[in-house]
Amino acid sequence: MTTTESSLSPERSGAPEPGRRAAPATGAWLPTWGLITTKNLEIRKRRGLMITMVVLIIVPTVLFYGLRLIFHAVDPAGYGVAGSPQFFSQSTNLIDEFGFIAAAALGAAAGTTDLSDGMFRHLVITGRSRLALYLARIPAGLAVLVPLVALAFLMNSLVTSYQSPPNPTTASFFSVTAPDNLNQAELKTFMLQHEQQVINGFLPGLPVGPGTGNPTPAQVTSAIDQNIASYYSNYTAAEISQSTPPVNEMAKIGLWLELDVGIAFLVGLGFGSLTGQRTTTIIVMVAFEIIVTPLLAHSQLPYFIDGQRLILGVAMDQLRPAALAAASGPGQGGGGGILFGGRGAIGFPPMPTWAMLSVIVGWIVAWSGIGAWRMMTRDA
Amino acid sequence: MNANQLLAAGTPTGPHGQHFGIGLLLLALVVLGSIGYGAMRLNDHRRRNRRPRPDTKPAPPTPAPAAAAPEPSRPRPVPTRPNGGWAVETHGLTKRFGPTVAVDDVELLVPRGSAFGYLGPNGAGKTTLIRTLLGLTRANAGTMSLFGTPVPLERSRALARVGAIVDEPRFHPHLTGRDNLRLLAAARGGAADQRIDPSLARVGLADRAGDKVATYSMGMRQRLGVAACLLADPELLMLDEPMNGLDPAGMQEMRAMIASLTDEGRTVMLSSHLLDEVERTCDAVAIVDHGRVIRQGPIDELIRGAGTMVIQVDCAEPARAKKLIDEAGIAAGTALARNGLTVTLPAGAGREAVADLNRRLVRAEIDVYGLREVQTSLEDWFLSVTSRLGEAS
């Protein structure tokens, strides 16, 4: 250790006087740019975490399309083109699921590593507002997460846009094949003109079944009259699922994806800050995403349906863009259709827009609030 | 209908909105309850940290266990305020962890510009006091200020001029020393960023600043901790056991560092259980035991004020001399030593008492070859104080 330098500050002379230097405004709750960028640096330099992020977000998409592109290049006759509306939907869901887990892990790391590394104490001693220290983690973490998800989704969109077969001119639903771009009245006319197709398709509402024989034309007309709205919903779902999404719909899906992983990051950050334990936080978040949410989202519990709607995944599914929802296949759409063209991908009764937004905003605000509160009250 | 029209098409909402409303109402109740509870805690926290009005008495501290309350009738000395004022000032500061009182009604006054030792055995509450002063944990009672700025009310302003190492200094191991300092400088704001390189140079880490902290030795981490303190260009440094883990050379360097910092007019408050280190490094000291400050002031004054004078008597017939002195009742204690007799004179005894001791021995025809005052070290004094505490408990 050298002690040759007499002073750190050239202007220092003699004993410091009280209030001689104006103290920096470290008490402000808003994080500074420097605080955000250095926190981002701290996250980026965690090599293991960054590798995990890339493996979870980028690698599945690369493998998914990479193998298909190679197979198609090697044997075009045996293997079709790499992209398709169905593959687009599947790949997006893959990014969403793995992205959620990666975001939760990133949030948990951002929320706990200062504590576990012993830096939290140093940071508190600086006098900087603890709220500012917490809030700095949000843009710092999102700056890592958002570009990775965007990159994965961009690959997905590019392959789908340039490597998909041409859009079909017809849409098939319940074995009925109708021309594209019909409105509800035109579809009704088409179905009335093609009764045999309708009968062969065993459409719901038709009096067909064992021992009933063929329905009469009057019965078919009556069934179409009564159920045209339902048939049209399935027709549009089929039409969307068999078409490559337009650019604006892809943009919408990308934003939905970023929102979903962004919320996962915020929940992981808040929960990690609450527990102070990274591993526990990640385990709980993964269990929530891959066990609890699917269980509660795909089955309706009597008298608990409103409780199920408080699950983040259910509300987010309600907001799921139509191209993703419809790709689950005819009849799978939840029928949300309430905001930005969202339809819901799961067989779950829709909830009002205000309720869906309340649940999503509630998750963001509640977990951010809990994390910030714990940060502000924790002993360092 | 084209694809975009289809995508924009919606379906009517379902019939479950009213049930959802009940669920959301319950959620709102939970959220409101949480906000109410949080507000209650915040209010409670503010009330606890409110400075008492001049005309009101502070809340009485919780009675400490017998072992932690030595000499209850002894009045607290009130040091005179130095010209520069107090760097640290606490009154009735108390911190409890459940039933354990870690900091017990502490009245601490650290003069500005001094090297001040906070001395006590392990578990005496030294680190807890520093953590409380720095706002790392909340006090249960009492007031505190740094350079007259109340903490925690104006914590940010107070800490802007403070650097501290608490416990073992730890940093992000995957970052370099310089990157760790960048992180802290960003939190400090102001000109802290420009002090990174000078701080690293000053603690002798300039060459290793680009290495990951994971590769640093304990001594290097201590030095990085000091560099982190220097980012604030601090007027007060609080160093918790700064010699821990250092080899002799490192300890010497740390001592020189502390001396140079005080030479610049900075106040250094260090806690330690190493009596020798405190005696070498500090001008003033506070002795803490069981969370209570039992003595404080300049080291030489404290040792002198301990009152006792120990005389090494080199004489013939030490056993007879001991018996004579004991029977005369002029000594607080006597003990036979290998090279004669050790006599402890009572508090307040001066040179006359030494002359009287000599006269008595000569009259009793005991040959006296020499009388020598034994210099009391901080360690002797500390042990005498703490042993009295032990007897009191």
Rounded mean pLDDT of B184-195?
Answer: 91
Rounded mean pLDDT of B164-172?
Answer: 91
Q: Confirm if B215 and B190 have CB atoms less than 8 A apart.
A: no
Residue A27 lies in a domain: no
In which residue are the tokens 């209650």 written?
B40
Residue A160: per-residue pLDDT: 92
Residue A366: per-residue pLDDT: 96
Residue A346: per-residue pLDDT: 56
Residue A24 lies in a domain: no
Rounded mean pLDDT of A132-143?
Answer: 96
Chain B stretch 156-185, residues whose beta carbon is closer than 8 A to a beta carbon of chain A: 156-164, 166-175, 179-180, 182-185
User: What is the C-alpha separation between B356 and B345, in angstroms, rounded?
Assistant: 11
| Residue A102 burial class via C-beta count within 10 angstroms: exposed 0-12, middle 13-18, buried 19 and up | buried
Q: What is the pLDDT of residues B383-393, one digit of tens each?
A: 666 654 444 44
Compute the nearest-CA separation of B293 from chain A (Å): 23
Strand order in the sheet with B115-119: B162-165, B236-240, B267-272, B115-119, B284-289, B292-298
Chain B stretch 200-239, residues whose beta carbon is closer than 8 A to a beta carbon of chain A: 201-204, 223, 228, 230, 232-233, 235
From chain B, pick out residues whose CB is under 8 angstroms from the CB of A379: 131, 136-138
Q: Confirm if A43 and A278 have CB atoms less than 8 A apart.
A: no
* Minimum Cα–Cα distance from B204: chain A residue: A1
The model's confidence at residue B52, banded by pLDDT at 50, 70 and 90, is very low
**A119 and A135 inside one domain:** yes
Rounded mean pLDDT of A137-149?
Answer: 97
Q: What is the pLDDT of residues B15-33, one digit of tens each?
A: 344 455 555 566 666 777 7
Q: Find the range with the poorest average confidence among A204-218, A280-294, A366-380, B94-108.
A: A204-218
Compute the nearest-CA separation of B20 from chain A (Å): 5
> Which position has the higher pLDDT, A297 or A169?
A169
Q: Is the pLDDT of residue B56 over 80?
A: no
Last residue of a domain, one of A258, A284, A305: A305
Q: Confirm if B307 and B146 have CB atoms less than 8 A apart.
A: no
From chain B, pick out residues whose CB is under 8 angstroms from the CB of A364: none
Compute the nearest-CA separation of A321 from chain B (Å): 8
Nearest to B290 by CA among B393, B167, B383: B393
**A79 and A176 inside one domain:** no
From chain A, pick out residues whose CB is under 8 angstroms from the CB of B182: 38, 41
User: What is the C-alpha separation between A242 and A106, in angstroms, rounded?
Assistant: 36
- Verify whether the Cβ–Cβ distance B24 to A128 is below 8 Å: no
Q: Confirm if B175 and B164 have CB atoms less than 8 A apart.
A: no
Rounded mean pLDDT of B176-187?
Answer: 95
Q: What is the pLDDT of residues A343-356, one digit of tens each?
A: 555 566 677 888 88
**A143 and A88 inside one domain:** yes
Rounded mean pLDDT of B70-95?
Answer: 66
pTM of the full structure: 0.75
Count the residues in chain B. 393
Residue A369 lies in a domain: no
Q: Is B55 on the interface with A (CB under 8 A)?
A: no
Rounded mean pLDDT of A266-291?
Answer: 94
**A188 and A283 inside one domain:** no
Most A CBs within 10 Å: which of B133, B183, B217, B243, as the mutation test of the A interface? B183
Q: What does DSSP assign to residue A257?
A: H
Last residue of a domain, one of A207, A241, A275: A241
| Residue B344 burial class via C-beta count within 10 angstroms: exposed 0-12, middle 13-18, buried 19 and up | middle
**A178 and A278 inside one domain:** no
Residue B162: per-residue pLDDT: 92
User: What is the C-alpha separation between A377 and B42, in angstroms, rounded?
Assistant: 10
User: What is the C-alpha separation between B52 and B48, in angstroms, rounded?
Assistant: 10
The model's confidence at residue B80, banded by pLDDT at 50, 70 and 90, is low
What amino acid is encoded at A316 in this protein? M
User: What is the C-alpha separation between A52 and A101, in angstroms, rounded?
Assistant: 10
> Which position has the higher pLDDT, B65 or B273?
B273
* Minimum Cα–Cα distance from A129: chain B residue: B156
Rounded mean pLDDT of B248-267?
Answer: 89
Last residue of a domain, one of A210, A241, A272: A241
Rounded mean pLDDT of A43-61?
Answer: 96
> Which position has the higher pLDDT, B62 or B115?
B115
All structural domains of chain B:
75-296 (3.40.50.300), 307-375 (3.30.70.920)
Chain A stretch 246-265, residues whose beta carbon is closer than 8 A to a beta carbon of chain B: 246, 248-249
From chain A, pick out residues whose CB is under 8 angstroms from the CB of B188: 24, 26, 126-128
> What is the maximal distance between C-alpha atoms in chain B?
130
Tokens linked to A15? 């004993």
Rounded mean pLDDT of A189-218?
Answer: 77
**A43 and A112 inside one domain:** yes
DSSP one-letter string for B261-283: HHHTT-EEEEEES-HHHHHHH-S
**Which residue in A41, A122, A246 is closest to B4 by CB distance?**
A246
What's the half-sphere exposure (Cβ side, CA atoms, 13 Å) at A53? 28
Indicate the average pLDDT of chain B: 78
> Which position has the higher pLDDT, B8 or A125?
A125
Q: What is the pLDDT of residues A317-334, one digit of tens each?
A: 888 887 776 544 444 444
**Which residue in B7, B13, B159 is closest to A323 by CB distance?**
B7
**A184 and A234 inside one domain:** yes
> Which position has the higher pLDDT, B148 or A16?
B148
**Which residue in A2, A125, A249 is closest to B164 by CB distance?**
A125
Indicate the average pLDDT of chain A: 83
User: What is the C-alpha separation between B192 and A281, in angstroms, rounded?
Assistant: 34
Looking at chain A, the whole-number percentage of residues with pLDDT higher than 70 is 85
φ/ψ of residue B68, rounded to 5: -95, 5
Q: Is the pLDDT of residue A127 over 70?
A: yes
**A162 and A191 inside one domain:** no
The model's confidence at residue A60, banded by pLDDT at 50, 70 and 90, is very high
Q: Confirm if B257 and A1 have CB atoms less than 8 A apart.
A: yes
- Verify whether the Cβ–Cβ distance B188 to A321 is below 8 Å: no
**A113 and A223 inside one domain:** no
Rounded mean pLDDT of B242-267?
Answer: 88
The model's confidence at residue B197, banded by pLDDT at 50, 70 and 90, is very high
Q: What does DSSP assign to residue B317?
A: -
Residue A331 lies in a domain: no
Q: Is the pLDDT of residue A254 over 90?
A: yes
Structural domain containing residue A201: 170-241
Compute the nearest-CA separation of B257 from chain A (Å): 6
Q: Is A129 on the interface with B (CB under 8 A)?
A: yes
Residue B294: per-residue pLDDT: 84
Within 8 A by CB and 6+ apart from A286, the residues are: A101, A104
**A104 and A128 inside one domain:** yes
Q: Is the pLDDT of residue B373 over 90?
A: no
Most A CBs within 10 Å: which of B2, B7, B13, B238, as the mutation test of the A interface? B7
Residue A79 lies in a domain: yes
Compute the nearest-CA separation of A246 from chain B (Å): 8
Cα–Cα distances in angstroms (integers) from residue B256 to residues A4, A97, B27, B259, in the given order: 10, 58, 61, 5
Compute the nearest-CA separation of A71 from chain B (Å): 31
Nearest to A58 by CA among A184, A200, A173, A153: A153
Residue A346 lies in a domain: no
> Which position has the higher pLDDT, B33 or B106?
B106
User: What is the C-alpha separation between B315 and B234, in angstroms, rounded?
Assistant: 56
Residue A250 lies in a domain: yes
Q: Is A169 on the interface with B (CB under 8 A)?
A: no
DSSP one-letter string for A168-218: PSEEEETTEEEESS--HHHHHHHHHHTHHHHHHTT-TTS--STTT-PPPHH
**A158 and A174 inside one domain:** no
Residue A186 lies in a domain: yes
Residue A233: per-residue pLDDT: 79
Residue B82: per-residue pLDDT: 65
Cα–Cα distances in angstroms (integers) from residue B109 to residues A67, B50, B90, B96, in the given order: 73, 20, 7, 21
**A196 and A293 inside one domain:** no
Q: What is the pLDDT of residues B332-359, one digit of tens each?
A: 788 887 777 888 887 667 788 888 889 9
- Verify whether the Cβ–Cβ distance B188 to A129 is below 8 Å: no
Q: Is A338 on the interface with B (CB under 8 A)?
A: yes
Radius of gyration of chain B, Cα coordinates, nearest whole angstrom:
30
Residue A347: per-residue pLDDT: 60
In which residue are the tokens 């102070």 written?
A276
Compute the nearest-CA separation of B240 from chain A (Å): 13
What amino acid is encoded at B115 in this protein? A
User: What is the C-alpha separation between A227 and B205, in angstroms, rounded?
Assistant: 79
Is the interface score ipTM higher than 0.90?
A: no
* Minimum Cα–Cα distance from B30: chain A residue: A366
Residue A16: per-residue pLDDT: 42
Q: Is B322 on the interface with A (CB under 8 A)?
A: no
User: What is the C-alpha separation between A255 and A150, in angstroms, rounded?
Assistant: 9
What domain count does chain A have?
A: 2
Compute the nearest-CA separation of A295 from chain B (Å): 19
Compute the nearest-CA separation of A13 from chain B (Å): 8
Q: What angle do CA B387, B390, B393 make, to 5 degrees?
A: 155
